Chain A
Amino acid sequence: MALKLGRRALLRGIGGVAIALPALEIMFDGKGAHAGPPGAIPKRYIVCFNGQSLGGDDDPLINDYVPNTVGANYDLKSALAPLAAVQGDVSVVSGLKIPTAFDNGGAIPAGGRSDDFHINSLSPLFSGMRSDPAQTVMGATSDQLVADAIAGSTTFKSLVFRVQAAWYLSVSAPYGRDIISYKSAGAGKKPTPIPATVSPKQAFDSLFSSFVPPDNTGAQKAAELELRQRKSVLDLLDKRTGRLLTRLGAADRLRLQAHLDEIRDLERRIGAIPPVASATCLKPGDPGADPALGGNQGSTFDQNLGYSGEDQRAKVFCDLIHMAIVCDLTRVASLQLTMAQSHLNMFGATGQASDLHEIGHHGLPGKDVTLQMSKAIAWHMKHFAYLIGKLKGTAEGAGNLLDNTVAVMLHEGGHGFDPASGKQWSSHSTENMACLIAGRAGGLKPGKHVVATGKHPANVLVSAMNAAGLATSALGEVNGNVPELFT
């Protein structure tokens, strides 16, 4: 149950000293988070990821995703059926492709990947940079580039959340399939991965623990005390860690400096001015304990049914992203619904006792494998549509929050030729890719199907970055946007 908060004119400052900031009042009129002049309304950027391709092996039905009709009022195929309520706010971009080494005479092309599919599509997909033999993402990702530009003084420069709670395949590890956000580490250096927050409960606590009930001076005092205590503890940690660093060898110093940097970022976050409650900025209900990892009912991870209540986790993360944006705690979020080459058990969504990766590999005509894949995609779309609907349903300025938001849904692959196996209809393909782009930020005109034959998914991300106010003509090595999305 949401707790409605009164507006707070007093904002906490450094050391818990209350500071009056009446100037901010003009920005909030009680109707929405940002009701000031249009120029004052920030833009928001969301990127979501689905770790699967659009079609199944050997199925000549390349997907049940891309509409037959082009332009507005496109037909909704089974993979996109959950979008019905928000279709007018969501564009489908089809005809996309990430080029391969095979396409380029054996050398990985700019913005392209090596011929082996898994993990190698991630670098071009998220950063526009070609994959490398070490199979890491080679450039900063769009969400982090946008955050650098538009985060402003928000408490959370970006939110990085993942729904799939564990890797699940006991004989291996994700090796990067679990990370979709990377920030720049400086020119000429590999970007720094940002492992996601996986616990919805932790995300809730981090975002909203500073909220206190309205007009409750007791709670206000308790919150103020708690803040001072946290600061004292973090200050002590900061000093102690700094002192320890001087005693360490070079490698450990580097390792623990990264830890100290994060301690300092937490200090900054808790020292930030807390959100101002309004008619729309409300404290969400506490999600409670996270669903058990692996379906385990005991105390250790000794059971692994490949599922940890991801359906519920996804809903909570969408709720948190929505409210964090409403309260201007953040303007940028990445939400990884499933890992690349995902071993999430999809039984609940598809009725097939199979993990997401296996679904695509049940091969051969007559098995309707692409339709099974579409059921799995639709599970992702259900949550994407829920988030879009919540943004749309939140008043802001003269319109709604979605008017100032751009949200993209990316998929790991498409369906078509796989240069590694030579198969014509393979799920291990980055041909015939498609993605979604929703919202009206920056003059986007959503609600249509755009066939962008030969374009790269990163071209759609450039459009989204442009819509969020980042005047760039490229993402990594991929140049240009998709102009039709703005007309």
Chain B
Amino acid sequence: MRHRWREPLAAVVLAAMVGCSSDGDLLPPRDPNAKPNDAAHAQTAVVSGARRLTRTEYDDTVRDLLGDATNSGFATLPEDVNDPFDNNYMTQLVSPALINAAETLATNAAKRALADPAIHVKIVPCQPTGPADTDCLRKFIATFGRRALRRPLEASEIDEYAALGSFAVEGNAFDVGVELVIRAMLQDVEFLYRVEVGTEVAGVPGVFKLNHFEVATRLSYFLLGTTPDDALLDVAAAQKLGSPGDIRAAAVTIMANPRARERVNRFHALWLSFHQLPHPPDLTAALRAESAALINRVVFDKPSSYLDLFTSSDTYANDFLADHYGLPKPGSTTGAWVAYGNTGRKGILSHGAVLSAGAKFADTSPTQRGKFVQNRLLCREIPAPPPTTKSDNPPSDAPGNCKIDKYKAHATDGACKGCHSQMDPIGFGLENYDKAGVFRATETGKPECPIDGAGDLLGVGPFNGPAGLADKLLASGELEACVVTQLYRFATGRREATEDTPVIQGLATKFVQNDHGFAPLLLEVVADNGFGFRRAQ
């Protein structure tokens, strides 16, 4: 068993003989798993680099490896850059803060795991005969190492880890060795980062075919946000992740995992900025449940066109949330579907979670909301202001002025107008909904200032309220294309470059062909011919 994984060592030895490949890599040997179509499939391979686990991925991975639900990484690891996704590896920095945190987290997690008999028995696959039971320690290293490093360990690696067993003998306790192995593995670069090497494809310089375990890792983190489980590692070990068809089949199995729902929800939370909400706990919980229910219905429970997410005529609310919105109470503390009726609401853009985006503690910002719609829903970047334009200054609050008046001043200021005309009028159309999504007829705290809710999506047309905005966004055709681009960013862990355009366009076409099914879109991403490859950066 432990001798099976010889490829990395062989790679190093052979590479030393044959020199460097096109991206400066040492040239690996010809892939024994190479398939006849590889060269053709490699054409759509995209750039990928070593991606560090995000704080959330780290916590979920430790949870799955060690049954540890403390989420300790979140508070200790450096804050991820939400761009809007937290997994953009191009923004990741190394620092003493990171290294110190990784060491402390690993040490504490190892101690917690071994202090819990139920977890102990799950991770140590044998009953040690004593502190010096090397066979048992090696078994643990092989089984836990495969999970933690997401690939089988070479025998020489097992030897290295087993050397830590000397501390078990010294301390007269087998678990000392286990603890140190866990500490070492949870600090390993191959644990903290998803490192992909692969094998260079013959005839396609600079493109590398990932090995089966690297594909398993890509799949699992994309679809579940966590480490591959034993079942998926077994699929990799059986070499069943080497073709688009195999990868699609594995993905179908993964999508049945309940964590796939959480992952899809997380994508939406980051994309639509409700991963953190500026509200008290009860409202935060109710708003998150509302959005999760709609996403789950459209994607998983009653799969339908993903565009229904934006046009749904009802919403999932408990009595507390219905009261918050002024909707009829469903008579439920947990929640039920409540019809919007003619309230002017429709779909997820009417959710308090989404309407919280860009809000400050005091009030909504029409500019921030407009920017949000442009950047997140239409994938349009508002150009940076010219060097002589002030961009980050909220309008002054003249006494007696209504809020809308000061924002409208942007439209008459030559320097501001260019950018603000692309943002503020969108926000004006949502002004009837406050920072928690509650309808208001007048400005908060200013009954003398009525809100007409007249908005305009430049180039598409006027609208009023979130329902009207959803209609305009769908009519523009840009929203559905943007969804694909955002998902692509989430999948690749970076912003797209020009070279990515054909892949994104291909996915967008399939999105339409599949009647805008979101789960099918996820499968198209992983079943793309290029998914099992990486292009050197």
Contacts and interface: CB of A to CB of B under 8 A. Distances in A.
Interface string A237-269: 101110110111111110110111111011000
B279 A248 contact: no
Contact of B195 (A58, A117, A252): A252
Nearest to B274: A170
Interface in A406-435: 418-421, 426, 428
A229 interface: yes
A198 B77 CA distance: 9
A480 interface: no
Nearest to B283: A303
B79 A166 contact: yes
- Chain B contact surface mostly: loop
Interface string B265-278: 00000000111111
Interface centre among B50, B93, B97, B197 (most CB of A within 10 A): B97
Given A198-B78, A297-B281, A170 B393 contact: no
Interface stretch (A142-150, A360-368, A453-461): A360-368
Interface string B162-175: 01100100110000
A486 interface: no
Interface stretch (A63-71, A351-359, A370-378): A351-359
Contacts of A262: 94-96, 98-99
A173 B82 contact: yes
Contact of B95 (A195, A294, A302): A195
B97 A160 contact: yes
B50 A428 contact: no
B189 A241 contact: yes
Contacts of A263: 99
Nearest to A205: B104
A255 B96 CA distance: 15
Interface string A271-306: 000000000000000000010111011111111111
B45 interface: no
A266 B100 contact: yes
Interface centre among B8, B170, B362 (most CB of A within 10 A): B362
Given A244-B195, A303-B281, A57 B183 contact: no
Interface centre among B100, B284, B372 (most CB of A within 10 A): B100
Interface string B57-88: 00000000000010100111011011110000
A115 B385 CA distance: 11
A167 interface: yes
A435 B91 CA distance: 32
Size category of the binding interface on chain B:
35 or more
Nearest to A197: B97
A300 B388 contact: no
Contacts of A400: none
A55 B278 CA distance: 27
A301 B96 contact: no
Interface string B385-425: 10111111110111100000000000000000000000000
Interface string A209-241: 000000000000000010011101110110111
A102 interface: yes
Interface string A197-209: 1110110011000
A57 B99 contact: no
Nearest to B269: A302
B49 A252 contact: yes
B346 interface: no
B182 to A, nearest CB: 10
A246 B197 CA distance: 11
B276 A255 contact: no
Contacts of B69: 299
A114 interface: yes
B23 A364 contact: no
Nearest to A258: B94
Interface in B239-288: 273-281, 284-285, 288
A304 B71 CA distance: 17
A293 B362 contact: no
Interface string A327-357: 0000000000000010001010000011100
A303 B284 contact: yes
Contact of B97 (A195, A233, A297): A195
A249 B100 CA distance: 27
B11 interface: yes
A247 B388 contact: no
A244 B98 contact: no
B122 interface: no
A58 B100 contact: no
B312 to A, nearest CB: 22
A237 B12 contact: no
B187 A170 contact: no
A353 B444 CA distance: 14
Contacts of B390: 115-117, 418, 420-421, 428
Interface residues of A, number: 97
B537 interface: yes
B309 to A, nearest CB: 20
B160 interface: yes
A173 B86 CA distance: 10
B361 A354 contact: yes
Interface centre among B24, B274, B397 (most CB of A within 10 A): B397
Given A202-B100, A266-B96, A300 B74 contact: yes
Nearest to A308: B75
A247 B96 contact: no
A380 B215 CA distance: 50
Interface string A174-203: 110010000000000000011111110110
B180 interface: yes
Contacts of A300: 56, 71, 74
B25 A249 contact: yes
Contacts of A246: 12, 26
A247 B12 contact: yes
Contacts of B387: 101, 106, 114-116
A171 interface: yes
A248 B50 contact: yes
Nearest to B94: A258
A118 interface: yes
Contact of B188 (A178, A240, A265): A240
Given A173-B83, A298-B281, A306-B278, A116 B537 contact: no
Given A247-B15, A418-B393, 19 more contacts: A115-B387, A116-B387, A116-B390, A116-B391, A178-B79, A194-B95, A233-B184, A244-B190, A247-B11, A248-B50, A249-B536, A252-B49, A266-B103, A303-B276, A304-B277, A304-B278, A347-B361, A354-B362, A428-B390
29 contacts: A106-B388, A114-B387, A116-B389, A170-B277, A170-B357, A202-B97, A229-B180, A233-B184, A234-B187, A244-B195, A246-B26, A247-B12, A247-B15, A249-B25, A249-B537, A250-B23, A250-B24, A252-B537, A256-B50, A292-B75, A293-B74, A296-B281, A297-B281, A301-B276, A303-B278, A353-B361, A358-B360, A363-B396, A364-B399
* 4 A-B pairs closest in CB distance: A420-B390, A363-B396, A304-B276, A251-B537
